[in-house]
Structure 1
Amino acid sequence: MTYKLLATDMDGTLLMDNKVLSKENIEALKKAKEIGIEIVICTGRPYVTVKPYLEKLGFDCWVVTNNGAVIRNKEGKIISVIYMRSEALEETIKLLEEETVYYHVSDEKYTFIKSIRERIRFIKQFILQTEVSYWRAILLAPWIVLCRGNHKKVDFSSFVRQGGRAASIFILSEEKEQLQKIKKKIEKVRNIDITSSGFNNIEVLDAEATKGKALEKISNLINVKKEEIIAVGDNLNDLSMIQYAGLGVAMKNGEKEVIEAANWVTTTNQEHGIAHLIEYIMAQEKEDIIVS
């Protein structure tokens, strides 16, 4: 089989645990690109946190952010945004306001927050997963929230009443029981999709906004058949694209459900699993050429 499109998740897949894009994965993606495979980055992240990695890749590619709600073409132009329906957004926000839990709302441009202090704490903890020192994280987190220009502090009840729009809602809690309780409540809301990119979070989107459906849109736009697609990921928010693709690939460090749904399992993100996958694909295609 000749594959024409490779869709990859970022955290836990393309990136190592310290959020670094390895030289091995960069070189492998470039090789895939050179033999005509379109690369699609599919992530739950907002676009502003993806851009630095795109610059490191050094080539243009399709980008799906907010877990499928926002699609950008290779020139970085937005071609599709799926917002949560107003009734679903209002009901979800009402449920979250009844809880003592961190959450933020994103559209294609901004991250809406209710507490600057909470957001700085969230960003600091995220930065500390990287190789950045503790004191640099202390300084960097406030700058990201206050100076970068993509955060807006809002009262969420007013935000909804005034017609605010959401591509995705991210909910964080280190208490598993609290997350399960919140998830059960939100599951009653109509026209939404609930997923997760980690053990400590829930992500809420419109029912039509999934990585799988975004991948289907892109493949239709560039005339790539389903069986010509490879999709790789590690977590529950990757399931839809892994199930859609002709070759669904799980990371060895992936969740059990993802590994069970996949056609093939590559090495872990710490072992440059994307590079290993591409080497495997290229070897298979070379073998097919020799046989034929």
Structure 2
Amino acid sequence: MSIKLIASDLDATFLKNDKTFNEVLFQEVLDKLHAQGGQFVVATGNHVQKVRDYFKNFPGQYQLIANNGAEVILDGELMHVWSVSADVPAVVDNLANKYKAELQLGVSFVAANKAFMIVKNPNDEHLDFAKKYFENLTLINSVTEINEPILKVSLVLPRLEYEFMREIKLLLGNKVHVTTSGYGAIDIVNPNVNKANALTYIAETLNVKPSEIMAFGDGLNDLEMLEYVGQPFAMTNSDEELFQHDFARSVTDNDNDGVLKTILEKL
């Protein structure tokens, strides 16, 4: 069975722990893959600019699923976004006021290539970090200043994230999907957002069957994607939960080029 698409998560999967990867080996993988008509897909929770920084030496050589599946970029063009419904930002912002004392910095609203933030607890150190993390960050006073689709609403609420998540689900129900990446960070997205749906969009656009796709992941936000593809690999350093599923294992961990070595063995 020839492989037409190979999709990989970044953090703790494709990237080493120091956020680098073996560029020489990656070029070898790309050359072999492209020679047989295949393509490489980066599938990450990171935003677009962050990915472009990581892959600055490989322009035009990969496709991209960003923000955990909220954005699909094909051949450098934004092809599809899954945004939250228009009333969501105000509801989240309003509830955040109730938790203001515990809230770290404020509430962020991420659009396709920029982000907005309402600061509720000013803190220079947190703000500096946010400016590095979010692409084109604009500080605003009210959600009424946002005039474009929002893909993700994020906030950091140490100690009370589960209470907040319960309340926001009561308020918005199945209008949103609410997740936490731990450490009190909460993401609120369109209920149809996950890496599998984004990868399905790419596969259908490029006329590729799930059986012709290989994918790599290490965490629960990779689960749907791994279940969707014909050749799923869980990293040897994965979240224990992933090992409960019947996925093959990478030949080694993320710090030892596990993704690239597994691909070269299988191609």
What TM-score comes out, normalization by structure 2 length? 0.84
Q: Deviations over 1:269-288 (max 9, x none)?
A: 11211112202322xxxxxx
1:277 and 2:262 equivalent? yes
8 Å Cα contact 1:28/1:275 also seen in 2:
no
Q: 1:101 Cα deviation (Å)? A: 2.4
1:98 and 2:98 equivalent? yes
Counterpart of 1:98, as a letter, is K
Q: 1:28 Cα deviation (Å)? A: 4.8
Partners of 2:49 and 2:81 in 1: CA distance = 16
8 Å Cα contact 1:197/1:236 also seen in 2:
no
The structure-2 alpha-carbon separation of the partners of 1:161 and 1:55, relative to structure 1 and needing over 3 Å to count, comes to closer
Q: Percent identity?
A: 23
Q: Deviations over 1:40-62 (max 9, x none)?
A: 11111111111122322354221
8 Å Cα contact 1:89/1:160 also seen in 2:
no
Q: 1:117 Cα deviation (Å)? A: 6.0
Partners of 1:51 and 1:60 in 2: CA distance = 11
**1:206 aligned partner:** 190
How many residues matched?
A: 258
1:114 and 2:118 equivalent? yes
The structure-2 alpha-carbon separation of the partners of 1:35 and 1:262, relative to structure 1 and needing over 3 Å to count, comes to farther
Partners of 1:16 and 1:252 in 2: CA distance = 13
**2:80 aligned partner:** 80
Where in structure 2 are the equivalents of 1:1-292 lying within 5 Å? 1-23=1-23, 25-30=25-30, 31-74=32-75, 76-99=76-99, 100-102=102-104, 103-115=107-119, 118=123, 121=126, 124=129, 144=132, 150-155=136-141, 158-160=142-144, 163=147, 165-173=149-157, 175=158, 177-188=159-170, 189=172, 190-197=174-181, 200-261=184-245, 263-266=247-250, 267-282=252-267
- Unmatched segments (≥5 aa) in structure 2: none
8 Å Cα contact 2:85/2:175 also seen in 1:
yes
| Secondary structure at 1:29 match in 2 | helix
- Unmatched segments (≥5 aa) in structure 1: 125-140, 283-292
Over aligned residues, Cα RMSD in angstroms? 2.7
What TM-score comes out, normalization by structure 1 length? 0.77
8 Å Cα contact 1:9/1:233 also seen in 2:
yes
Higher helix share: 1
